[in-house]
Amino acid sequence: MNERPLAIVPVWFYDDQTGYQDFRQRIGSLASRWRVIVVVRDIRFLRELEDLSVSVEVLPSPGGSRMQMWWWCLRLIPWIAKRNPDLVFLLGSQMAPVRLGLPASFPTVLYWNVHPSQLFDLHAPTRLARWFNIALTRLSYLAAARASVVLPIGARLREDLLAHGVHPLRAVTVPLGVSENHSMPRKPSPREHLPGEALRLIIAGSINAERGRDVMFDGIALLKSQSLSVHLTLIGATGPQLEECRLRVQRLGIEDQVTLIGRLPGQEIPALLAKAHIGLSLVAERPWNTFNPPTKIHEYMVNGLPVIVSNNACHRDLLSEGGAGWFCEFDAEDFARSIRERLANPAELEVASKLAYQEGIKALWSKLEPDFIALCRAARNWNPSPAAG
């Protein structure tokens, strides 16, 4: 029996990373067709992959800084070339420069999950740092243009790639996707807010100022001062993030209105989402947030949760006002205003919940996986067959 073709999947996990599910989904799908070797920088990341049918190699890095990441990418090039794989799957936008050092004959797929402006600060405090980041940004786009296939997770990321020279047939949008492990085993009941109970809000993922931490806490404090019953649950903050949250919650006197939970296995999250009325996705205006699609909205929706989101471009691409969710500006007063409106119009919640579920199930990874596999196979031909889009 012929041995399955070899796919090498290098990935740089960050020290403060809170989510691994999109990486695991793609690695797991590859492992169903290829013999997969995943390359990581530290042995502690093995636990994130131990239940997948893959081999994991550690190419050690002394630390997790950006500079150390670029040196690690340089060391990856001969490591990969020596093994002559049938497919190289670069798992993350930050892996793009690796493509430039590999032989042109190597079929290479690049998972484009964030905009380069999030990786490279073009407004760094020193001229040398700015020049360095400009060079890395240009190298990333050049690498994307030389990849066999590029898989951006959103339409705006794809448009940006095309504007930087990537061929339209090689850039195909495959959304982030929601694992079935992150959804309830059966269709959720529509949300209903009963008189007298607190409106239960939930947010999952990294929790910091850019992700709306202060907006949410200040908004909750404002609602408390108006004697409105609201409860916020936050899931997924890392150790330092949790401590910052605790201090701010104590300072605002909203301990009874906020529950803080650290990182949880993905399969435990649906049970917590099932207890909530509304999911939250708030992001500050940053260059990359114009391009990066929000990561948690579909996870909320597939569990029947309507959402309140900040009013920025990528959120507007996913939602229409009054459909499966509502918009607010990225400030505490407007966030509180949106909550007050939901409390004043409880009937809207059930309708929005049904619409959210209908939208959410479109993003299940099982529905996206066939195109993903086809595109990875097409990398050998440098001519993807699925329609670009």
Predicted local distance difference test score (pLDDT) of residue 321: 61
What average pLDDT does the segment 227-233 reach? 97
Confidence of residue 268 (pLDDT cuts 50, 70, 90): confident
The CATH number, out of the four listed (3.40.1790.10, 3.20.20.140, 1.10.8.50, 3.40.50.2000), of the domain defined by the range 181-363: 3.40.50.2000
| Cβ atoms 159, 276 nearer than 8 A | no
More confident residue, 268 or 182: 268
The domain segmentation of the chain, as residue ranges, is 6-175+366-378, 181-363
**CB–CB of 217/248 below 8 Å?**
yes
Q: 213-225 and 239-252 are packed helices; what angle lies between their axes, rounded to 10 degrees?
A: 20
pLDDT (tens digit, 9 = 90+) per residue, 10-63? 999 998 777 788 999 999 999 999 999 999 999 999 999 989 999 999 999 999
The continuous run of DSSP H or E covering 129 comes out as: helix 127-146
Tens-place pLDDT, residues 154-193: 999 999 999 999 999 999 999 999 988 766 556 777 788 8
Residues of the chain with pLDDT > 70: what percent? 95
How far apart, in whole angstroms, are the C-alpha atoms of residue 245 and residue 7?
A: 41
CB 120 within 8 A of CB 133: yes
Mean pLDDT along residues 269-274: 90
- What is the CATH architecture assignment of 6-175+366-378? 3-Layer(aba) Sandwich (3.40)
Q: Do domains 6-175+366-378 and 181-363 have the same CATH topology?
A: yes
Q: Which residues contact 43 (CB under 8 A, 6 or more apart)?
A: 58
Prediction pTM value = 0.90
What is the per-residue DSSP string for 84-116?
Answer: --SEEEEESGGGTTHHHHS-TTS-EEEEE-S-H
Q: Is the pLDDT of residue 379 over 70?
A: yes
Q: Would the pLDDT of 387 be above 50?
A: no
Question: Which tops the pLDDT comparison, 130 or 189?
Answer: 130
DSSP state for residue 275 in the 8-state scheme = T
User: Of the ranges 3-17, 192-206, 208-222, 312-326, which is most confident?
Assistant: 208-222
Q: Which of 177-186, 212-221, 271-280, 357-366 has the lowest mean pLDDT?
A: 177-186
Give every CB contact of residue 67 below 8 A, 6+ residues apart in sequence.
Answer: none
Tell me the average pLDDT of the chain. 91
Whether 83 shows a pLDDT value over 70: the answer reads yes
Cα 206 to Cα 46: distance, rounded to the nearest angstrom: 21
For the four alpha carbons of 269, 322, 198 and 217, in that order, the dihedral sign comes to: positive
Tell me, what's the pLDDT at 384? 44
